[in-house]
Structure 1
Amino acid sequence: MDEIGLLEPFDRMLADLFSSATLRQIGRGELDPEIWITLESSGFLDALVCEESGGANLSFATVLPLFLALGRRAVPLPVGETILARALLAQAGSDYRLGPIVLGVPSLILPGAEHANFVLTEDSRGVKLQRLDGVETVGASRDPLSRKEPAIGMEEGRVTKTAPAAAVLYAALIVGASEAVLEMCVDYSLQRTQFGKPIARQQVLQQNLALASEHVVAARMACETAVRHSSWPSPLAAASAKLIASRAAPVVAGIAHGLHGAIGISGEHDLNLLIRRIHASRLAGGAENYWAGLIGREILADPRSTLDLVREEMFS
């Protein structure tokens, strides 16, 4: 199936399931169980699962547009995380149909964890699947690492691909939400008038939107590059995508709120739904300093020149 044939029904489903009113209900803790049942029955959650395990066996590059769509629709549930977790569990020969799953690493927030049953974690000892039952929730995050429960469903160390995949996922969520924010900004600037003409004609506003667009396009290209030449994102390419996307997040948010003014932070305006997802995805899976440090250590430890390293990462 091509990307368009996959994306269109997926995006229609998200539009039906996650209206602005529904997003606000979920934010108040009022999640309709039928939403996850619909997602489960759609088959999209098994997009990356191999055919032998009953999945679609699609490539990461083919599924990337789905992650972008999740960002554009400001989906607060761990849909992308569950898609990745199911693929990793299936590769390990474990049962993967376990309901909503989030991906976590120490000291980072877990967006959507209040709606999840399990968390797939990774540390120096390996990867574990932990239950989230009874873990206290603060806002959009949980801290499952404060509870030392035994791993279930897989042997420790069987999966080693969680962090790069999560980095690309969260980068894509930032990009998708940022693209929706930019569209909202353009529409608002054309409708809002000042001194008898649309504010879109103001040069400073045009420059700010151009700056935000540059950041978002760069982040999207980084996501696409990270999955273009391999079946799974490499650590360095994933780190670059997450770093670039996370750096774009405050630029987009600041320009959007500056343009909309006070109305943009009101609970009735949809802008805040997208901005909250942008900031949550920025913090999830490691923020800028974490990934910048990883890139620096990789470059210093590699005997190749920086040019050769980047060239081989991008084109090999």
Structure 2
Amino acid sequence: MLREQERAPRKYELMTILHPEVAEESLPGELERISGFITGAGGEMIETLQDSPWGRRRLAYAIRSGSRDVRDGYYTVWHFTLGPDRVNDLERELKLDTQLIRYIVVSWEPVPIDPKAVEAAEIAAEDAAAAAYVAAQAADAAAEDDAAAAYAASQVEATAPVTADESTTETDVAAEETRAGELTAEAEALEATGAELAIEPVAAVEEREELEADAAAALETMAAAIVAEPAAAEAATEAAAAEAATEAAEDDDVPEGAVRGDGTGDCPEDYPIKGNATSKLFHSPGSPSYKRTVPEFCFASTAAAEAAGFNPTKYEAAHEEGN
């Protein structure tokens, strides 16, 4: 009795990935052959899933098949019943199929899915992605403000001392020139009166020379400050050019048939399709999450969004099938 229970058919799920070079017209025949492997091993088919989200999809990483790496494949899911002792027979046939690049067989128990729960999970994920995007934009804006404030402070520190030094130097030079003139006049007066010229004129000359040296040093400091101002202006010009280059590089990342979102959640009339770069989903006007979505890109059509690698939401896919 125990042996008969072990051999009783069980429910299994088989996922297959066919080679991307299989022609579209040959695909039904390849799927029919895999169905034949299942029924040939004594299994009974329950259902075959080859439409959205299955079908041709991008692989997570390249798979070596034959002599080259492939990055795409045709996904199909099979649900069937089969005796446990016949699973090895099925896998032997699958291994011999040269058009299969990957497959996996697992036990399967169908779990009912609540559509409302799926929709709620999608909305929660999109809200979280939108909140993360807004937070990232706010952080970037704060960082730019901090950088601008730091730059402005550095400019003030670089220019304010120079202005003060210029004012002080001009005053000192004027005072030193006046003092030198006074000393020279005193020396000439002493010489005219025949006073002790052996000591006083020498002291006056030494003091005048010292004043002249100080004035020359002050002029040199002023010249250095004047030279530094063009260098600061050149640095500011280079920073502006780098910022413009960064903005141009960001524009190069915009997919064909799209414009970059402005961070407000609104799209231009000619580009109504919202694309969420975090979830890689797009939303058409009228979908449940359209108004709350803050898009990174606005597409002119759903075809442009799909060409850029964005996928429809469950709501979009269901309406496409209904149409």
Normalising by structure 1, we get a TM-score of 0.22
Higher share of residues assigned helix: 1
**1 or 2 for the larger relative contact order (CA 8 Å, sep ≥6)?**
1
Q: Higher strand proportion, which one?
A: 2
Greater Rg by CA: 2
